C-alpha cells in the first residue's frame, strides 16, 4: 500500500479510526491531513478504549511514525490532554511530529465560534464550538498563527499584534498581544519537541517507498465544497484534500479507501434524507451507541444512503470501500438501502444542491435481514442475507467492498481483499470474494 488515503464516505463518524488502526499495523507513517479537535476517532484495543481527536490513529502502533499535517488546525490545550491520555495508557508520543505550517487554535477562536453559533438561534449549524472555522477563516485571511511561529519569537511577536487587533474587533472586547504571547510561551515548552518541517520527512518516506496512510476527518458530505453547504466543515474532506493537507503529490496516492457504516449517521444540522425520526432511529442509535466522540451529542441515524456514498466515491475517487458496524443491523427483519432521491416528479441519483436535498424523499430498496454477524471473522462466515446486502452496496456505490466491521474489537474486522497499488477495480471491474460477481466500475449506473 505505498500511499493509502482513508476518507469518510458520508457525514463523518463512519469508523475511520478503526480502519486506520487496522491498516497502520502494516504502515510506516500515518499523516492526519485535515480538521482539528472537532471530531474524534475511537480505537478499542488491548490498552482499552482510546478517543483520539488530533493525534493520528497510528500512534497506537509502536513502530509507526505520526505526523499532524499542515492542513490540520491544532488546539494545543486539547492536544496536551490527549497526549496525557496516551501516556497514561503506556503509549509514547515521541513519534509524533506536528507540521510547522499547521495553524493554532486560540481560546478567542472558541469564543468567536460560540458567539456566532448562539446568534444563529434556530438556524444554528450545529458546530462543535471548538473554534475550528474561525481558525480556517484566519488562515484564509492570512492573519493566523502557525506552529512554526513558536520557533521564531521576534516574528511571532510581530504577528500577535495583528491577531490581537482582529480578535478585539471580532469579540467587542480587548484582547491584548500580551495575553496571547503568554499563551504561546505556555504552549511552547510542550509543543516544541514535536514541531518540525515535515516536508523532508514525507519526501524521505516517499523515496523509500514506505507504506504511508493518510487519515482524514469527517466525510465528503461535510466537505467545504462538495458537502451540504453551509452545513459543512471548514476544510477539505476529499482525497484531494489529503494531497494539500499532508504534502503528498496526487500521483503517489495508489489507494483511496472510502469508509461508511452499514447505516447512516450525522451530527449537527443540515439535510440527511434517510434520517429516521421514529423509534427505529432511536433503536439504531442505542444499538450502535451513536454519540459523538468529541461532544457526546446523539447522532442522527437512518438507513444506508447509497446516493451519498456513490457521490462520495465519484468526487473522491474511491478504489474500495470499508463497511463498518454491520453487526448493528443484526436482528432486523428488513434492512433498507436508499438508491435514489425523489424531488417532486424528479428522481435523482446524485446529490443535489442543499435546498433540494432538504426536501427530497429517499427511494428505498428493501432487503431481507439476518440474525448474527458479530462472530464472523471471514466473509464466508457471514449470513447469506448480509453478503447480499454488501453486494447491493457495492452495486449502488459502484465500488468494491474490501473490509467489513462486525464489532468494536480490533479483531472484529473482516478483510475481504487488499487491492494494493494499481488495482484494476476502478477501471474494469472484476470478480471478487463476496460472491464472485462482477463489480461495476464507478462510472456505471446500477438500477
- 74 touches 93 (CB < 8 A): no
| Residue of 320, 329, 316, 270 lying closest to 423 (CA atoms) | 320
* 24 burial type by CB count under 10 A (0-12 exposed, 13-18 middle, 19+ buried): buried
Cell of 165: 487587533
CA 311 to chain centre: 16
Round to whole Å and give the CA distance between 409 and 411. 5
Per annotation, catalytic residue among 13, 21, 320, 327: 13
Per annotation, catalytic residue among 41, 103, 109, 432: 41
- Helix (H), strand (E) at residue 88: helix 76-88
* 53 given a catalytic annotation: no
Q: Helix, strand, or coil here: 43?
A: strand
Question: How many Cβ atoms from other residues are within 10 Å of residue 152's Cβ?
Answer: 13
Give helix then strand counts, H and E, for the chain.
13, 20
Phi, psi of 348 (to 5 degrees): -105, 135
Question: How many Cβ atoms from other residues are within 10 Å of residue 316's Cβ?
Answer: 24
According to DSSP, residue 327 is labeled G
Round to whole Å and give the CA distance between 307 and 186. 48
DSSP characters over 355-386: HHHTT-EEEEEEEE--S--TT--SGGGS-HHH
User: Which residues are known to be catalytic?
Assistant: 13, 41
Amino acid at each position: 500500500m505505498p500511499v493509502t488515503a482513508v476518507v469518510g464516505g458520508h457525514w463523518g463518524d463512519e469508523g475511520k479510526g478503526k480502519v486506520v488502526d487496522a491498516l497502520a499495523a502494516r504502515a510506516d507513517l500515518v499523516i492526519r491531513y485535515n480538521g482539528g479537535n472537532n471530531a474524534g476517532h475511537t480505537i478499542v484495543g488491548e490498552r482499552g478504549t482510546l478517543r483520539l481527536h488530533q493525534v493520528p490513529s497510528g500512534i497506537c502502533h509502536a513502530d509507526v511514525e505520526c505526523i499532524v499535517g499542515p492542513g490540520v488546525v491544532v488546539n494545543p490545550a486539547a492536544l496536551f490532554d490527549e497526549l496525557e491520555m496516551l501516556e497514561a495508557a503506556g503509549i509514547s508520543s515521541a513519534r509524533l511530529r506536528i507540521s510547522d505550517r499547521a495553524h493554532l487554535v486560540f481560546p478567542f477562536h472558541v469564543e468567536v465560534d460560540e458567539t456566532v453559533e448562539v446568534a444563529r438561534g434556530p438556524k444554528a449549524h450545529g458546530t462543535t464550538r471548538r473554534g475550528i472555522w474561525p481558525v480556517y477563516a484566519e488562515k484564509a485571511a492570512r492573519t493566523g498563527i502557525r506552529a512554526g511561529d513558536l520557533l521564531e519569537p521576534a516574528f511571532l511577536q510581530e504577528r500577535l499584534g495583528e491577531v490581537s487587533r482582529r480578535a478585539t474587533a471580532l469579540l467587542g472586547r480587548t484582547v491584548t498581544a500580551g495575553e496571547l504571547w503568554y499563551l504561546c510561551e505556555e504552549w511552547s515548552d510542550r509543543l516544541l519537541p514535536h514541531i518540525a518541517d515535515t516536508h523532508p520527512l514525507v519526501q524521505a518516506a516517499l523515496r523509500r517507498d514506505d507504506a504511508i496512510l493518510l487519515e482524514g476527518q469527517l466525510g465528503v458530505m461535510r466537505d467545504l465544497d462538495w458537502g451540504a453547504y453551509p452545513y459543512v466543515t471548514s476544510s477539505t474532506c476529499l482525497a484531494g484534500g489529503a494531497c494539500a493537507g499532508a504534502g503528498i503529490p496526487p500521483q503517489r496516492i495508489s489507494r483511496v479507501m472510502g469508509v461508511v457504516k452499514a447505516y447512516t449517521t450525522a451530527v449537527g444540522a443540515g439535510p440527511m434524507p434517510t434520517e429516521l425520526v421514529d423509534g427505529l432511529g432511536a433503536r439504531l442509535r442505542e444499538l450502535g451507541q451513536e454519540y459523538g466522540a468529541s461532544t457526546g451529542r446523539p447522532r442522527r441515524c437512518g438507513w444506508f444512503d447509497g446516493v451519498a456514498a456513490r457521490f462520495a466515491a465519484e468526487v473522491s475517487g474511491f478504489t474500495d470501500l470499508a463497511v463498518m458496524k454491520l453487526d448493528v443491523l443484526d436482528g432486523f427483519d428488513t434492512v433498507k438501502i436508499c438508491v435514489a432521491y425523489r424531488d417532486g416528479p424528479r428522481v435523482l441519483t446524485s446529490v443535489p444542491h442543499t435546498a433540494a436535498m432538504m426536501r427530497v424523499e429517499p427511494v428505498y430498496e428493501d432487503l431481507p435481514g439476518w440474525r448474527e454477524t458479530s462472530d464472523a471473522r471471514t466473509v464466508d462466515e457471514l449470513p447469506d442475507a448480509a453478503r447480499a446486502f454488501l453486494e447491493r452496496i457495492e452495486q449502488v456505490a459502484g465500488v468494491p467492498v474490501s473490509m467489513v466491521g462486525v464489532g468494536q474489537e480490533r479483531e472484529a474486522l473482516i478483510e475481504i481483499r487488499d487491492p494494493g497499488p494499481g488495482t484494476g477495480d476502478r477501471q474494469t471491474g472484476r470478480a471478487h470474494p463476496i460472491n464472485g460477481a462482477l463489480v461495476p466500475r464507478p462510472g456505471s449506473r446500477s438500477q
